[in-house]
Structure 1
Amino acid sequence: MSENNQLRDVFDAIADPTRRQLIRLLAGAEEIPLHELTAKFQMGRTAVSKHLTILKEAGLVTDRKVGRETRFRLNASPLREVQDWVVFYSNFWSTNLSRLNRLLEEEEE
């Protein structure tokens, strides 16, 4: 939990498929009102709001009130932690598979 006083771990926040879908939807727009996000799911407004709260706690989503409407926006910067983790293990597997490949080639000779 490195970025801006997050209350929740980013990995925990993106573990749920519904939250990943919310991130995907928000990535494609400047801001989306809650009622529009809710329309994309087969669950009620309260359930979508709970998922958005978890994303907010991880620093992945910000919101603002416009009249009676709440609009949500993606803050993708906490996803760098996930990207760094994936890159580390991608390099790990690439290195180890290269070693294995060399070892197998040496055995064939």
Structure 2
Amino acid sequence: MIEAETITAVMRALADPTRRAVFERIVNSKEITVVELTRGSNVTQGAISQHLKSLKQAGLVSERPEGRNVYYRAEPGGLEPLADWMGHYGTFWRERFTDLRKLLKEIDP
């Protein structure tokens, strides 16, 4: 299973609804600048920059400076820790539901 720090960073980064919206806009763009992200939201450029910092620290986005602009793009493997974690617990719950189904059949044949 993945390290607890990694999954915590990803979950914490995506827990904020505004940050999630910023991430979704980045995912739906090949690359996007802070200015473009600010233009399409009701959030200040400073706040967008802070959200980007959190997303970058969690490994969800990367940046590419070019002149005066910095372009952000989604990191393909960024959500992998979350998917792995959910997959682990998905197996756990599927087994529990199978056990519950068997128990219910035994109780009420």
Task: Note the alpha carbon deviations across 1:11-42, whole angstroms, 9 max, x for none.
Answer: 22111112221221111121001111112221
Query: What runs of 5+ residues in structure 1 fail to find an aligned partner?
Result: none
SS in 2 for 1:73: strand
Aligned residues: 105
Name the residue aligned to 1:12.
12
Q: Select between 64-73 and 51-60 the one with higher mean Cα deviation.
A: 64-73
Mapping of 1:15-30 within 5 angstroms? 15-30=15-30
Asked whether the equivalents of residues 31 and 71 of structure 2 are also in contact (C-alpha less than 8 Å), the reply is yes
TM-score w.r.t. length of structure 2: 0.85
- Two-structure CA RMSD over aligned residues (Å): 1.9
Asked whether the equivalents of residues 61 and 78 of structure 2 are also in contact (C-alpha less than 8 Å), the reply is no
Higher RCO (CA-CA < 8 Å; seq separation 6+): 2
Distance (whole Å) between structure 1 residues aligned to residue 107 and residue 54 of structure 2: 52
One-letter amino acid of the structure 1 residue matched with residue 24 of structure 2: R
More helix by share: 2
1:40 and 2:40 equivalent?
yes
TM-score w.r.t. length of structure 1: 0.85
Name the residue aligned to 1:98.
98
Query: What runs of 5+ residues in structure 2 fail to find an aligned partner?
Result: none
**1:66 offset after TM fit, Å?**
2.1
**1:90 offset after TM fit, Å?**
1.4
